Amino acid sequence: MEEPRIGVYICWCGTNIAKMVDVEAVSAEVGKLPHVVLAKNYKYMCSDPGQELIVKDIHGHQLNRVVVAACSPRIHELTFRKAVEKAGINPYLFEMANIREQDSWVHTDRTEATSKAIDLVVAAIRRVQFHEPLQKRSVNVDPATLIIGGGISGMVAALEIANAGKKVYLIEKTGRLGGHVIKFDLTFPHLSSARQMIRPILQRVENHPNIDVFLNTEIRDVTGYIGNFKTTIRINETESTELRFGNIIAAVGLKPFDPSKIEEYGYGKFPDVITSMEFEEMLGTGQVLTKYGKEPRNIAIIHCVGSRNKKYHEYCSRTCCMVALKFVHQIRASLPSANIFEIYADMRAYGKGHEEFYALTTHKQIIFLMYDQQERLPVISQADRNDNCNMVIRMNEKLSGESIEVPVDMVILMVNMEAHENVKEVVHAIGVSLCGNQFFIEKHPKLDPVATTTGGVYIVGTCQGPKDIPDSVSQARAAAARILATIATGSVAVEVTTASTNEKLCCGCQTCVKVCPYSAISYNEEKRSSEVNEVLCKGCGTCGSACPAGAITSKHFTDRQILAEIEGIMSMSFKGV
């Protein structure tokens, strides 16, 4: 092995790091270490000039290893790997120390934070000495795409990809395409017909030569990796065709919240307390009727049912306010003289044309009432016999500060949208993670809202979080863009940091074969040793730690590297003693 020549760079991240960590002291301290050729600090290492600095130094000082102490490697490891690669060094001869998220941002004592930063940088320096160059590999991309979910997001994504001449397998759990949207009568804010809107999309999807639609279909598990996935779909609970595809889009959507959990509203107890979804169905006939077949004289619409309340779901469901306003127009058209009460918490008319729609709705002879969706929910109770209404809502009206009662004959609950119970199956099959609200986690909430941490797997539409039709459509197209680009390129880079076996050391116990969750390890009877399929291997390293003979190396996370890191972390601890 050549003599390590390490360049160390400490980032200020503006004041993010520099405020809490004495970057000068860190660079001075680590500059004294063996093999460290230079140690510098700079305002923004990730910026163009910052990266340029590294490249210049690599050339000027014949560096062969680089350490950058900056933010989390989850953010910029790739950026800097690219930078060192540009200078002709293997990108894996680089290591990052996280002195922002795990140091400057969480500590308040500058001395402590600085000494911690030094420890972390030293550890990285020790570790990087044992780094080995790893070669990037790429695999060809199967041009077919699997889309899970036949709602509007799934269908739009399917069309976008299929129109480019690429194969799409669209699988839908239920017996028909269209998702929730097809159940709607009108859409907001233009009050256009949802059915008319979705019809051309359905026609195109169903008749598209490049789209294979599988109804009543589920997937259990997906094997493979980006560019080369494989699954056996189950139609009507029976194993069926095997599909091969290069990319996956999950568009599994959400389902409505069950309001019977909220005692105050008496859903299930009062027949005329119904959910927004049930009301949508009623609107299709145009006839708004109570369970006794009478036209209600008083209708209340309660917002945020199951939303924005820590007891149920803390998040906002994003669409219900506008749907509720849409209902007002529909009720008014059907029942010109009914009293409509809109019981809301904050009117979230945020989209294009939404505020204008809200203003238009106020002219529909409707009474807006504001309630506290967290502390004091309105209570629905049976009206007295001699009262000329079915039910009474008692609530604290916030804008007037009065305790009021509202006579009602029908109550529509604007229910929250929540994850399907069986979402975990999909999650496990395709390897994405869930956030606390059971939504799929995107790769980056801002800059990569449709990709996931698993290569080749994308999430679109409401499974990523509640959203309205245009936002779902945009997301669907965004995922399609990413997939089309990889298909256009034809190949994609795969995991480099896989496991590998040393035939000579392998004792043939096959422990590794048993522990590998990806069936990436097989036992070669002839050679009497285990072998790793590096395309299937995702680099978790479980086999490495299970191997009793030390025959398995987890690339980039080798024992030597980690032990060096531990030594590094502890090496400065006694200096101050």
Interface residues for another protein in 482-511 (CB under 8 A)? 482, 484-489, 497
Looking at the Cβ atoms of 255 and 332, the one nearer to another protein is 332
Q: Which of 287, 382, 388, 524 binds another protein (CB under 8 A)?
A: 287
What minimum distance in Å lies between the beta carbon of 212 and another protein? 19
Q: Which helix (DSSP H) or strand (DSSP E) does residue 6 occupy? A: strand 6-11
Q: Give the interface segment with another protein, choosing from 208-216, 243-251, 409-417, 465-473 (CB under 8 A).
A: 465-473
Q: Residue 189: is the preceding peptide bond cis (ω within 30°)?
A: yes
Residue 205's nearest CA partner among 162, 165, 246 is 162
The yes or no reply on residue 386 touching another protein (CB under 8 A) is no
**Cβ–Cβ < 8 Å for 399, 362:** no
Q: Give the interface segment with another protein, choosing from 31-39, 94-102, 128-136, 225-233 (CB under 8 A).
A: 94-102
The yes or no reply on residue 265 touching another protein (CB under 8 A) is no
The yes or no reply on residue 106 touching another protein (CB under 8 A) is yes
Per DSSP, the residues of 526-543 read: TTTEEEE-TTT-----HH
Q: Which of 123, 177, 305, 512 binds another protein (CB under 8 A)?
A: 123
Which residue shows structure tokens 């490697």?
A: 73
Q: Which of 64, 217, 276, 330 binds another protein (CB under 8 A)?
A: 330
- Return the structure tokens found at 35: 């093999």
Residues 2 to 21 in contact with another protein, rule: CB under 8 A: 13-16
Helices vs. strands in the chain: H and E counts, helices first? 14, 28
Q: Show the site string, 188-227: x = touches another protein by CB under 8 A, - = not.
A: -xxxxx-xxx-xxx-xx-----------------------
Looking at the Cβ atoms of 6 and 11, the one nearer to another protein is 11
Q: Which of 2, 209, 375, 399 binds another protein (CB under 8 A)?
A: 399
Looking at the Cβ atoms of 113 and 415, the one nearer to another protein is 113
State how far the Cα of 40 lies from the Cα of 32, in Å rounded to an integer: 12
Q: Describe the crossing of helices 194-207 and 152-163 by its angle, rounded to 10 degrees.
A: 40
Looking at the Cβ atoms of 18 and 235, the one nearer to another protein is 18
Residues 341 to 380 in contact with another protein, rule: CB under 8 A: 341, 346-356, 358-359, 362-363, 365-370
Backbone torsion region of residue 399, taken as left when φ is above 0, otherwise alpha when ψ lies between -120 and 50, otherwise beta = alpha
Q: Give the interface segment with another protein, choosing from 25-33, 228-236, 261-269, 466-474 (CB under 8 A).
A: 466-474
Residue 114's nearest CA partner among 19, 12, 22, 18 is 22
Q: Which helix (DSSP H) or strand (DSSP E) does residue 36 occupy? A: strand 36-42
Q: Which of 31, 88, 268, 445 binds another protein (CB under 8 A)?
A: 445
Helix (H, G, I), strand (E, B) or coil at 480: helix
What minimum distance in Å lies between the beta carbon of 441 and another protein? 7
What minimum distance in Å lies between the beta carbon of 544 and another protein? 6
Backbone torsion region of residue 237, taken as left when φ is above 0, otherwise alpha when ψ lies between -120 and 50, otherwise beta = left
**Cβ–Cβ < 8 Å for 40, 10:** yes
Residues 62 to 81 in contact with another protein, rule: CB under 8 A: 71-76, 79
Residues 534 to 563 in contact with another protein, rule: CB under 8 A: 538-542, 544-546, 554, 557, 559, 562-563
Q: Which of 206, 281, 314, 503 binds another protein (CB under 8 A)?
A: 314
Helix (H, G, I), strand (E, B) or coil at 414: strand
The yes or no reply on residue 140 touching another protein (CB under 8 A) is no
Which residue shows structure tokens 């395709």?
A: 430
Residue 410 is classified by DSSP as: E
